[in-house]
Amino acid sequence: MKQFTNPITFKHGLTIKNRIAIAPMTTRMSYFNGKVTNDEINYYASRTGETGLFITGVAYIQPDGIGWTGELGVHSDDCIPGLSKLAAAIKENGSRAILQIFHAGRMTNSQTLQGLPIVAPSKVPANRPNAEISKELTIESIEDIIQNFKEATRRAILSGFDGIELHGANHFLLQQFFSPHSNRRTDKYGGSLEKRYQFIREVVDAVLATVDELAPQNFIVGYRISPREETTPGYNLEETLWLVDKLADTDLDYLHLSLTYFHGKTNLPDYQEKSMLQYIYETINGRIPLISVGQIHTRKDLEAALQHSDIAAIGSAILLDPHWIQKILTHQDDSIRHTMSPIEKDTLQISDGAFEFLAAINPDRIL
Ligand SMILES: Cc1cc2nc3c(=O)[nH]c(=O)nc-3n(C[C@H](O)[C@H](O)[C@H](O)COP(=O)(O)O)c2cc1C
């Protein structure tokens, strides 16, 4: 049986020292133009070293791809010096640094875009309060976005990251192309499952080609997915298993689920026997490592998540206790902090914006 202390080596050759990852969590600490701040570097430095894999909060690949202010940027070569400092800070003591990259698509607003239009696969507002109508992407602008995913990958390589993660989850642009809610296109990018996968295929191929051309041999590429949507129409686990099967046959180094609870089930009557994680793990069947996530707060949770995944990602628990991993590794479980009060934000180096996300996901952990 695999232990969380066992290393794992990815297809492109990178080895990580244990099976614990820090989940991507936006700090909302970057400058208005996406550049890294010193506060942000201190935040990452305070939580690294113990984890095998540290995935950064998401970074936007082009100006109209930003989702919220304070988000990390990888949209211009001017971002490279700051990103280089960030990668170096994360890589202290042997943790591997992964830059998560995305385009937010329709999951943004005019205020954040400061005059740039909101773009998405189709002109359908997102299923959330105050969602604005987006402009449908032209074929030319889709090609530009793919080019900008390549450019972002090149910048991550130049900045010294060990890899990138394509953020294809949480309703952002990559997911918007796969979703029948946001994608109503009738061209080669919309319609059948295969066509809704076309944009993902092109981005994955383009990024992997960039890595082949420019990266050191062991640079890795991961892909994050959300297993189901709550919207009608929306995709559910059945279509996700189709997507997972496709992605598992590519040259990607890992797949990463985005789950609220690692043991969560879908609502489909035919898929009630097991967790979504387990169905996905069994579909992959060893072809590619799978990262689990979602309310992993104790050793028991960690071990249970690793029964149906290869690596477990820890999010909120790391915000509440920066040394959660070290305490697990050295059997000091009793000293782990599981709650915080808002006045501790500064001591824990958590920004107001990140605290809002944390409190929304874990209201019971805020005193
Ligand atoms: C403050 C905060 C910021 C987050 N930012 C991101 C992000 O940038 N990219 C992403 O894929 N998920 C993001 N997430 C989701 C986490 O990666 C993770 O999936 C989620 O918090 C569930 O794991 P947990 O229960 O261990 O917190 C964020 C979560 C929090 C709490």
Is the pLDDT confidence value at 166 over 80? yes
Nearest CA to ligand 1 atom 5: 25
Percent of the chain with pLDDT over 90: 99
CA of 23 to the centre of ligand 1 (A): 6
Ligand 1 atom closest to the Cα of residue 295 is 25
96 φ/ψ angles, rounded to the nearest 5 degrees: -95, 140
Reading the block at residue 214, the tokens are: 């420019």
Q: What is the pLDDT of residues 210-227, one digit of tens each?
A: 999 999 999 999 999 999
Nearest CA to ligand 1 atom 31: 358
Average pLDDT of the residues in 3-16: 97
> Does ligand 1 have an atom closer than 6 angstroms to the CB of 55?
no
Residue 57 has what pLDDT?
Answer: 98
> Does ligand 1 have an atom closer than 6 angstroms to the CB of 157?
no
Residue 221 has what pLDDT?
Answer: 98
Ligand 1 atom closest to the Cα of residue 355 is 1
**Cα–Cα distance, 316 to 248 (Å, whole number):** 28
**Does the structural domain 8-365 have CATH classification 3.40.50.1970?**
no
CA of 128 to the centre of ligand 1 (A): 18
Q: What is the pLDDT of residues 175-184, one digit of tens each?
A: 999 999 999 9
Percent of the chain with pLDDT over 70: 100
> To test ligand 1's pocket by mutation, which of 320, 340, 348, 361 has the most ligand atoms within 8 angstroms of CB?
361
Confidence tier at 2 by pLDDT (50, 70, 90)? confident
CA of 265 to the centre of ligand 1 (A): 19
**Cα–Cα distance, 102 to 172 (Å, whole number):** 7
Helix, strand, or coil here: 94?
helix
Q: Among 85, 78, 58, 71, which residue's Cα sits nearest to residue 32?
A: 71
Nearest CA to ligand 1 atom 3: 25
Confidence tier at 53 by pLDDT (50, 70, 90)? very high
Nearest CA to ligand 1 atom 1: 354
Ligand 1 atom closest to the Cα of residue 57 is 8
> Does ligand 1 have an atom closer than 6 angstroms to the CB of 255?
no
Residue 206 has what pLDDT?
Answer: 98
> Does ligand 1 have an atom closer than 6 angstroms to the CB of 298?
no
Q: Tell me the CA distances in angstroms from 276 to 59, 102, 161, 193, one per residue in order.
A: 27, 24, 31, 20
Nearest CA to ligand 1 atom 26: 315
> Does ligand 1 have an atom closer than 6 angstroms to the CB of 67?
no
> Does ligand 1 have an atom closer than 6 angstroms to the CB of 348?
no
- For residue 44, the cross-strand partners are none
Residue 287 has what pLDDT?
Answer: 98
**Cα–Cα distance, 3 to 302 (Å, whole number):** 10
Nearest CA to ligand 1 atom 23: 294
> To test ligand 1's pocket by mutation, which of 22, 26, 225 has the most ligand atoms within 8 angstroms of CB?
26
**Cα–Cα distance, 313 to 315 (Å, whole number):** 7
CA of 57 to the centre of ligand 1 (A): 8
Confidence tier at 19 by pLDDT (50, 70, 90)? very high
Is the pLDDT confidence value at 1 over 80? no
> Does ligand 1 have an atom closer than 6 angstroms to the CB of 315?
yes
Dump the DSSP string for 268-329. Answer: -GGG-SS-HHHHHHHHHTTSS-EEE-SS--SHHHHHHHGGG-SEEEE-HHHHH-TTHHHHHH
Residue 251 has what pLDDT?
Answer: 98
